[in-house]
Structure 1
Amino acid sequence: REQGDPHRRRPLRAAARRAPRRQDPPRRQRALGALPVHPGAPRGRPPADHPDGLGRRLPRPPVRVEDAIKHPNWSMGKKITVDSATLMNKGLEVIEAHYLYGTSYDNIEIVIHPQSIIHSMVETADSSVLAQLGWPDMRLPILYTMSWPERIATSEETWPRLDFVRMGDLTFKAPDRKKYPSMDLSYSAGRAGGTMTGVLSAANEQAVEMFLNEEIGYLDIFRLIEECCDKHRSDLVITPGLEEIVHYDQWARVFVRDLVRSGSFEPRLPSKLAA
């Protein structure tokens, strides 16, 4: 591609799916995620309060900000780490894959992969599965985003090669959709199309910001996104222009913020849940 091609500006996560996409027509794509672990909290809280997707038998407390911004494998900013805890990052990647590759939502699957070694899998028409593997380090997809469709040779000193013996087992599990409503919210918004996906993203960003500021609880993130998307259904624009996309992005942020601060929405803060 010539410099300036819009394909060069695709989101970074898409880099993991590019190479397989160029070789064979995909039949199904799978988005993988590793969820944070939050050890050392008191017992006695319901499972829905605890975002642990790694299969560990841990206590289940109300989730605090300091819990949600920890990740066992990735070093990321606070917002995207919270998205990892809620699985909203996977939901947004489902929408991304749909638009980038023209793949039906019915053929995009989310799988929990605790080791964060496999970053995407593409199933082809003959049932073969092509996977992209690498250490959990965002420098590699950033490099490939800048060099695509070529690959730049890297030093083994600064870019360690995968050691399959050291890597050990690679495990997978199905996500709990009741525990992580963000997945169904994302699929629903994606299927609705139009301005709904932008509203979903903006509502999530505003809710996560308020969670990080301790204005709302962890579980409130899901509640606020759902209320915002439900409210938008009557105003949904199927084929929006840029102005409408920007307008409803701002509308969603204001809706979430005003709903919390109006007093009609009761936040489920950790201090109240622990009482």
Structure 2
Amino acid sequence: MAAEQNTQVKSADRVLDLFELLSRSSRGVSHSNIADRLGIPKSSLTPLLRNMVLRGYVILGADGRSYQLGPQLLKLVRIGRIASDLAKEATSFLQQATREIGETSAFNQLHDDQQEVVATVTGRHRLTTHMKVGEVAPLYATSGGKAMLALMPEDYRNDYYKRVQLEASTESTIVRRAALEKQLEEVRKTGVAYSFEEWTSGIVGVGVAVAGPDDFPIGSINFAIPAARYNEELGKNAARALKRCAADMGRLFDDFGGGFAKRSD
């Protein structure tokens, strides 16, 4: 087991060493030069470079012999910066949404297999819901979590279901995968997810996902509304406000080469 772990660490070090080396050369580095400078046998370097090229993390230079950093790696860096900026700027967007609807709003991001509240604004009503920064909740039981799940690729969701047990938090929690998938299909059509007292009794959630440049959810925004006040008209108004908020947040992507908020008008 120790030998296997050492091999895995060595392979990871080689990939990181390769990225660092290529980042210091704007004109690319040849196969032989990479092998010499990193001390990697050419027989091991060849398949490593082949895999990196296939996945877009490394590209061949114009001369066909040198290697450079690829667009996939740069895209990951860009997405990371977008996610960080959204978390910092979210409060101002949420304030506008809450002023419009009067309900408590939140911006959530993925935290392992859950959603985490990273920004929140409390509603103006006497009877209101309070969400706290740092709170985590299951994706399958919350409106913001469902909005993100709906955007994820099918293979990602399949892996998610293997890792996560759908457990009831309330009498209304959806605990059958087929029923949840049917709901997620509707979310993909409308752009809006709902949680009718599925995570917290007495609370209705309305959520919209915010997608990154590769369409993968970079977060979600949601309202948490007391069930005693919720009605169809309020739900529709909340959905429209969230879509506008998501569109406004999506404009932050322009500074990083494009991006958009996933929405349905």
Q: Which bracket does the TM-score occupy, shorter chain normalised?
A: under 0.3
Higher relative contact order (CA 8 A, sep 6+): 1
TM-score between the two structures when normalised by the length of structure 2:
0.26
Q: TM-score, normalized by length of structure 1?
A: 0.25
Structure number with bigger Rg: 2
> Which structure shows the higher strand fraction?
2
